[in-house]
């Protein structure tokens, strides 16, 4: 159990509406009805605030949760500017039918990013690997970004853009063995930090990845507050979330369903080496 002092406990109580809903300015409150009114934002310690520029790359038929989950925690980086980046500003249709509205294009996205993030998927990710403009954008922004990050098979996109060669990385379980195609070292872990590269495993690991990154960028109490407001305390009703835990029959079906994706990535990697 983690003990917190009275000052931190008071901050958590006052900041609940702020961090639960993002960085929007809250209504004024007064101290005992006397003195000058203050806002909830005014009592946030200076080191809980920053000015990061964050670019989240989105593309057709990607897995929405790969970026929506991390966005929740990254949005708790008070002061950060987060942009969803795509070819144009048309809605991006994700693999499950959810549409995400881009806020920047490859041309209008800031040149220098503090965090570059890309999610994954299956058929959508394979198509994105063959999208020269998207790969060129990742290679360009990734060459200067302070943190180059991915969730799920998004690490294969980073690899195809030349951003993981010589780095340790993870991916969705179906994608981890494919990392070697791009010169990366496969690591079977939920979140992997290697210098300024941060990769998360499949889909739900995006929450772990983003919270771990928030811990690097803000004081521990700020990250703990974000986790508390999200009530992030996983306790899944099933235990088949990894190849080691899943029943053999289920794992066999999943591998067969993803076999075209695996062969497609291998072929794309071979074409890229020619």
List active site positions. 152
| Token representation of residue 181 | 């195609």
Q: Are 135 and 129 in contact (CB under 8 A)?
A: yes
> For residues 143 and 116, what is the distance between their CA atoms, to the nearest angstrom?
10
Which residues have a Cβ under 8 Å from the Cβ of 170 and sit 6 or more positions away? 155, 176, 179, 186, 187, 188, 189, 190, 191, 192, 199, 200, 201, 205
Query: Cα–Cα distances in Å, from 33 out to 27, 28, 30, 37, 91?
Result: 15, 12, 5, 8, 47
Burial state string for 14-42 with b = 16 or more CB within 10 A and e = fewer than 16: bbeebbeeebeebeeeeeeeeeeeeebbe
**Which residues share a beta bridge with 31?**
34
Residue appearing with tokens 């899943």 = 246
């Amino acid at each position: 159990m983690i003990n917190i002092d009275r000052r931190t406990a008071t901050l958590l109580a006052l900041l609940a509406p702020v961090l639960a809903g993002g960085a929007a300015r809250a209504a004024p409150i007064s101290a005992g009805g006397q003195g000058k009114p203050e806002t909830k934002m005014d009592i946030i310690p200076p080191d809980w605030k920053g000015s990061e520029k964050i670019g989240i790359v989105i593309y057709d038929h990607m897995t929405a949760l790969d970026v929506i989950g991390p966005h929740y925690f990254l949005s708790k980086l008070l002061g950060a500017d987060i942009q969803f980046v795509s070819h144009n500003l048309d809605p991006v249709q994700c693999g499950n039918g959810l549409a995400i509205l881009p806020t920047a294009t490859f041309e209008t996205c800031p040149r220098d990013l503090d965090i570059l993030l890309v999610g994954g998927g299956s058929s959508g990710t394979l198509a994105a690997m063959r999208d020269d403009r998207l790969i060129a954008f990742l290679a360009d922004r990734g060459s200067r970004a302070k943190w180059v990050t991915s969730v799920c098979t998004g690490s294969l996109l980073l690899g195809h853009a030349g951003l993981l060669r010589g780095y340790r990385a993870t991916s969705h379980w179906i994608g981890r063995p494919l990392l070697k195609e791009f010169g990366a070292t496969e690591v079977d872990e939920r979140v992997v930090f290697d210098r300024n590269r941060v990769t998360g495993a499949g889909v739900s690991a995006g929450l772990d990845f983003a919270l771990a990154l928030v811990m690097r960028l803000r004081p521990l109490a700020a990250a703990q507050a974000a986790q508390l407001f999200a009530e992030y305390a996983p306790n899944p009703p099933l235990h088949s979330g990894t190849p080691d835990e899943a029943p053999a029959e289920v794992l066999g079906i999943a591998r067969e369903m993803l076999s075209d994706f695996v062969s497609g990535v291998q072929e794309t990697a071979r074409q890229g080496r020619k």
